[in-house]
Amino acid sequence: MGKSSMVIFEPEETKHLVYLKAALYETLRLYPSAPIERKTVATTDIMPSGHEVHTGDTILISLYSMARMEGVWGKDCRDYNPHRWLSEDGNKLVYVPSHKFLSFNSGPRMCPGKDIAVVQMKTVVAAVVWNFDMEVVEGQSIQPKLSCTLQMKNGLMMILKKREI
C-alpha cells in the first residue's frame, strides 16, 4: 500500500485559522448538534420572559429556535454569517456570552471537552477543504430533522474530487 498523498494538519497548524473557527461556531449556532437543551430549576425564580419557575421544574430550551431569534442574534439571525464572531480586523474572535451560544452548554455546565472538540473540528475541516474540491448535488431537498441530535432529513449528497496537490 502506497503512502497517502492526503495533507493532514497538526492541531498547532490550525491555531491561526480564526475564520475557520468563526465558521464552525456559526454552523453550530444555526445547526447545533443537540438542538434541545434540558435544564432543571434549582431555585424558584422569574425568567426574563416574566414566567415563574419553581424548584425542580424542567425547562426545555430550543437551541435551534434560539439561534433564529432577532432578540438574541439580531436582524440577520437567520443568515449564515461567520463575521458575527470576528473582530473588525478579522484577526480574533469577539466575546459572545456562553448563555447566547449554548452548543457547548454554559456556566458551570460548560462542556469540558469544548476546546478539544473545536481543535478536532478545525483539523478535520481544514484537511477536507485542502484535499478535496466539493460540490453539493443539485436538486436536493435540504431539510433538518430535529431529534435528540440534529440530522439532515434526507442526508446531504455531495461530489468530492481529490485535489492534485
Looking at residues 47-57, what average pLDDT do you find?
Answer: 93
Half-sphere exposure at residue 156, Cβ-oriented, CA atoms within 13 angstroms: 11
- 139 occurs within a structural domain: no
111 is in an annotated binding site: yes
- 117 occurs within a structural domain: yes
Q: How far is CA 86 from CA 11, 26, 93, 101, 122, in A?
A: 21, 11, 4, 15, 16
- 146 occurs within a structural domain: no
- 69 occurs within a structural domain: yes
Per-residue model confidence (pLDDT) at position 1: 40
Per-residue model confidence (pLDDT) at position 101: 93
Instruction: Count Cβ atoms below 10 Å from residue 23 Cβ, excluding itself.
Output: 20
pLDDT category at 24 given cuts 50, 70, 90 is very high
Looking at residues 77-101, what average pLDDT do you find?
Answer: 95
- 159 occurs within a structural domain: no
- Give the tens place of pLDDT for each residue, 115-150: 999 999 999 999 999 999 999 999 999 888 878 888
- 48 occurs within a structural domain: no
Could you give the number of structural domains in the chain?
A: 1
Range of the domain at 21: 11-42+55-133
- 102 occurs within a structural domain: yes
